[in-house]
Amino acid sequence: MSEYVELTGDNFSTEVLESSIPVLVDFWADWCGPCKMIGPFIDQLAAEYEGRIKIGKVNVDMEQDLASKHGISSIPTLMVYQNGNIVNQKAGAMPKPDIEKLFRDFI
């Protein structure tokens, strides 16, 4: 099973903005119930779409500056980046097919 990339202020630019493939970024926290609900879906999608989309996770408690820079006001927030730009985003827990719809048109 493919692992997601743990994103930080140090690697966000390289891993997300400069990525040659689309990136789904999950802004989350350990204490967030809805984040825990979608976590397994994120992991499954990382494996299913390996090589076609990169999955990254930002722990908003550990990376407060990064979360603030991206205007995160509620979690989970999922953002899809392509060619360094946000092309889709949605906040809140959602079923796996809805997460997939966020990025399917960009791969």
Q: Is 103 a catalytic residue?
A: no
Quick check: helix, strand or coil at residue 57? strand
Q: Which residue of the set 5, 35, 46, 80 is catalytic? A: 35
Q: Is 32 a catalytic residue?
A: yes
**Dihedral (CA of 50, 8, 29, 26) sign:** negative
Q: 17-27 as b/e, with b when 16 or more CB fall inside 10 Å?
A: eebeebbbbbb
Q: Which residue of the set 16, 23, 32, 79 is catalytic? A: 32
Residue positions annotated with a catalytic role: 32, 35
